[in-house]
Structure 1
Amino acid sequence: MIPPVYPPKPAPGDRIAVLSPAAGLPELFPRPYELGLRRLREDFGLEPVEYPTTRRMGTTPKERAEDIHAAFADPDIKVIMASIGGDDQITVLPLLDRELIRANPKPFFGMSDNTNLLAFLHTTGIVGFHGATVMTQLGRPVAMDRLTADSLRAALFTPGAYELRPAERWNDVNRDWADPATFDEEPETRPGDGWIWRNPDRVVEGRSWGGCLEILAWLLMADREIAHDPSVYDGGVLFLETSEELPSGTEVYRILRNMGERGLLRRFPALLMGRAKTWSFERPNSPEESARYAAEQRAAVERALAEYAPDTLAVFDVDLGHTTPQLVIPYGGTVRVDGPARRITVTY
């Protein structure tokens, strides 16, 4: 596997490609999408450029691959961001021109189903950025979360180290994007309790790899963008998070167990586990149900680590997934986990 390199940073005034490599949800929910575009212009000084599939549902994998190629090949485009996730980006991967993308490295921002493209970039030799899609974080009602905005700004424009911070308040309950009233007030938040540390007796610094756990499971099943020799991950920092589909603790354990059986888990001396999303429109859990779900997921991860990577330094409830705030994690970039000091630093 090619060691990833950081692509050049954009500058204020540059053009940013906004793609929908998974699902064209801007067609169905224009309000958060337009709000996100406005913030890219006004708050970050970037000029969004849309592509044929950006606002179209039901596009083919070939059409989406063509838009990805066009964005990477265009010398006037300096950065690329996904509008949102989806569930079939894995079908786009076989159609991508690896040499074209390798010859035109650019920062790509996305998460959830975009774990597919981030993993592709990693094996291609390009550091990507897990986090900050247009509709979810930039399209947050009233204002972006401060931690999200600070992290995204640093990831976009500032090379070097950035220290992550635990969220003082967070949210994982969504409101209906189809309802205009949703955008009249900020989402309700709840107090954060800080990070939970396991085996915090050492410092680990290495290249990051991971993403949405369910998507990684699909990649493993399809045998795509996963190194056949797990030793290439030796010394790295694994980061994982789960989606709004709320996989059960049993499912989380089984995925991690299978990663352990493949020899993957023990390769990573550190794990950052994203704060679990505990609420969805399909499962509107009460606060008590949400707390129980989060505890079950943590217990599942702890069980898998105890069986396959007992010495791993792990940090739970890091805000890097489907909850808000959402800290950007360099995918394939350097992450330093300092257990004794209880600090996490990433290099953007």
Structure 2
Amino acid sequence: MVHELTSPPKAAPGDKVAVLSPSFAAPGFAPALHEQAMRRLADLTGLVPVEFPTTRRLGASAADRAADLNAAFADPEIRAVLATVGGDDQITVIGHLDPALVRADPKPFLGYSDNTNLLAWLWNQGVSGFYGGSTQVHLGAGPEVDDVHLRSLRAALLTGERLEITEPGESEDFGKDWKDPAALTEHGEREATEPWTWAGPSRAVTGRTWGGCAEVVQWILTAGRFATDPAVVEGGVLLLETSEELIPALELGRIIRSLGERGVLAAVDAVVVARPPTTSFEVSRTAAERAAKRAEQCDAAIDMVQRYNPDAVMVVGVPFGHTRPQWILPYGGTVTVDGARRKVWADYS
């Protein structure tokens, strides 16, 4: 019962790509950051970013945001769709989407966080996408685009090669305030990262990915927007990460437990958990406190997965999701998790 997925064709320099706000219209809140992101996207990829009516419209209705998604997927000149940022209500947009449009002309979609909703919906339609790549966060902010982000962005949109997912050695939980001009030229507070934590058997697993932001995955399951039979992810790789809301390790463990009871953990062969954010504009912690919070989440994830599937290969701390530098990862494409060599590869074809 493994779910069949189509990998959309790559764009080519000169092609148009839609830049949309399926959740929060960050470009309307911080237009200077958005405009820098659009310049960088064009300069670094050769693609032509195209905005739609709600890209900058704060407070746009779910129906209007869905209309822009439908229009982008229907337009033959648009060859990929990128989200500006996440949010918290994209679940209300999904019911307005037209599945016939994405099936007729599959296109890569890039986003993370609340965009887990749209990625999972596309996965249900048989179309793979990419987890990561919000323009406002990873293209617009800072003095330049991080190397690992740029390499995976180009692979996802243009080249389709297989890349080893490596540790860049530094990380930030959040950047400068978007209203601060320094957000255009400076990183946020970065610190050295720890080695990834591995668990489970020393073997290599290659499988198609599913999952995303743990909080949003929980919403998707509650709304009944995942297949009845978890065998559709048989032999796959589960991706899990947590958001800037900084949920406690206990809550992450409960979400993973629900996936275990749902049968998802028993079906997959590998689980990849991201390095979690531990601070925000509202929450400050010392370096020791941040490390302790990351360790708590790591322990909770490993403990709960191993209760349901001790044969799953696990790695915790991979830099995707709510962190910078960020690797964009295939969603519905294939990832290799090698517990023997302690390496991860992603296939962007």
Which TM-score tier does this pair reach, normalised by the shorter chain?
over 0.9
Q: Report the CA distance between 1:194 and its aligned residue.
A: 2.7
CA distance in 2 between counterparts of 1:281 and 1:19 reads 25
Partner of 2:215: 214
Report the secondary structure of 1:240's partner residue: strand
Q: Report the CA distance between 1:24 and its aligned residue.
A: 0.9
Report the residue type matching 1:96 in the other structure.
Answer: L
Q: What are the Cα deviations for residues 55-102 of structure 1, in whole angstroms up to 9, with x where unaligned?
A: 011111110110001001111111110011000000111111111211
The answer as to whether partners of 2:110 and 2:129 remain within 8 angstroms in 1 is: yes
Partner of 1:306: 306
The answer as to whether partners of 2:207 and 2:335 remain within 8 angstroms in 1 is: yes
Report the secondary structure of 1:344's partner residue: strand
Q: Report the CA distance between 1:160 and its aligned residue.
A: 3.6
Report the secondary structure of 1:211's partner residue: strand
Q: Report the CA distance between 1:2 and its aligned residue.
A: 4.7
Report the residue type matching 1:7 in the other structure.
Answer: P
CA distance in 1 between counterparts of 2:163 and 2:50 reads 28
The answer as to whether partners of 1:200 and 1:342 remain within 8 angstroms in 2 is: no
The answer as to whether partners of 1:241 and 1:276 remain within 8 angstroms in 2 is: yes
Partner of 1:346: 346
Q: Report the CA distance between 1:335 and its aligned residue.
A: 1.1
TM-score using structure 1 length = 0.97
Partner of 1:109: 110
Q: Report the CA distance between 1:5 and its aligned residue.
A: 1.0
Report the residue type matching 1:338 in the other structure.
Answer: D
CA distance in 2 between counterparts of 1:20 and 1:173 reads 20
How many residue pairs match? The answer is 347
Q: What are the Cα deviations for residues 82-135 of structure 1, in whole angstroms up to 9, with x where unaligned?
A: 011000000111111111211110011100000000001101011101111110
Which structure 1 segments of 5+ residues have no match?
none
CA distance in 2 between counterparts of 1:51 and 1:79 reads 13
The answer as to whether partners of 1:210 and 1:216 remain within 8 angstroms in 2 is: yes
When residues 108 and 190 of structure 1 are mapped into structure 2, their CA distance, relative to the original with a 3 A threshold, is same
CA distance in 1 between counterparts of 2:306 and 2:163 reads 30
CA distance in 1 between counterparts of 2:45 and 2:224 reads 38
The answer as to whether partners of 1:170 and 1:324 remain within 8 angstroms in 2 is: yes
Report the residue type matching 1:92 in the other structure.
Answer: V
Q: Report the CA distance between 1:152 and its aligned residue.
A: 1.0
TM-score using structure 2 length = 0.96
Q: Report the CA distance between 1:19 and its aligned residue.
A: 0.5
User: CA RMSD for the aligned pairs?
Assistant: 1.3
Q: What are the Cα deviations for residues 164-218 of structure 1, in whole angstroms up to 9, with x where unaligned?
A: 1112222214221111133333334222233211125111111111110000001
Report the residue type matching 1:129 in the other structure.
Answer: F
The answer as to whether partners of 1:167 and 1:194 remain within 8 angstroms in 2 is: no
CA distance in 2 between counterparts of 1:76 and 1:155 reads 18
Report the residue type matching 1:288 in the other structure.
Answer: A
Say yes or no: does 1:46 pair with 2:62: no
Report the secondary structure of 1:129's partner residue: strand
Moved more, 215-224 or 194-203: 194-203
Q: Within 5 Å, give how 1:2-151 maps onto structure 2.
A: 2-151=3-152
The answer as to whether partners of 2:277 and 2:323 remain within 8 angstroms in 1 is: yes
CA distance in 2 between counterparts of 1:173 and 1:20 reads 20
CA distance in 2 between counterparts of 1:192 and 1:135 reads 24
Q: Report the CA distance between 1:20 and its aligned residue.
A: 0.4
CA distance in 1 between counterparts of 2:210 and 2:163 reads 18
The answer as to whether partners of 1:200 and 1:338 remain within 8 angstroms in 2 is: no
Say yes or no: does 1:328 pair with 2:328: yes
The answer as to whether partners of 2:141 and 2:175 remain within 8 angstroms in 1 is: no
CA distance in 1 between counterparts of 2:84 and 2:160 reads 24
Q: Report the CA distance between 1:293 and its aligned residue.
A: 1.2
Partner of 1:252: 252
Report the secondary structure of 1:43's partner residue: helix
Moved more, 192-201 or 331-340: 192-201
CA distance in 1 between counterparts of 2:67 and 2:131 reads 22
Say yes or no: does 1:265 pair with 2:265: yes
CA distance in 2 between counterparts of 1:169 and 1:282 reads 22
Q: Report the CA distance between 1:281 and its aligned residue.
A: 1.2
CA distance in 2 between counterparts of 1:236 and 1:100 reads 27
Q: Within 5 Å, give how 1:158-237 maps onto structure 2.
A: 158-224=159-225, 226-237=226-237
Moved more, 183-192 or 111-120: 183-192
Structure 1 runs of 4+ aligned residues shifted over 3 Å read: none
The answer as to whether partners of 2:199 and 2:315 remain within 8 angstroms in 1 is: yes
Report the residue type matching 1:166 in the other structure.
Answer: E
CA distance in 2 between counterparts of 1:240 and 1:294 reads 14
Report the residue type matching 1:100 in the other structure.
Answer: L
The answer as to whether partners of 2:3 and 2:233 remain within 8 angstroms in 1 is: no
Q: Report the CA distance between 1:319 and its aligned residue.
A: 0.7
The answer as to whether partners of 2:176 and 2:182 remain within 8 angstroms in 1 is: no
Report the residue type matching 2:132 in the other structure.
Answer: G
Q: Report the CA distance between 1:256 and its aligned residue.
A: 0.8
Moved more, 65-74 or 300-309: 300-309
CA distance in 2 between counterparts of 1:126 and 1:84 reads 21
Report the residue type matching 1:133 in the other structure.
Answer: S
Report the residue type matching 2:86 in the other structure.
Answer: G
Q: Report the CA distance between 1:51 and its aligned residue.
A: 0.5
Which structure 2 segments of 5+ residues have no match?
none
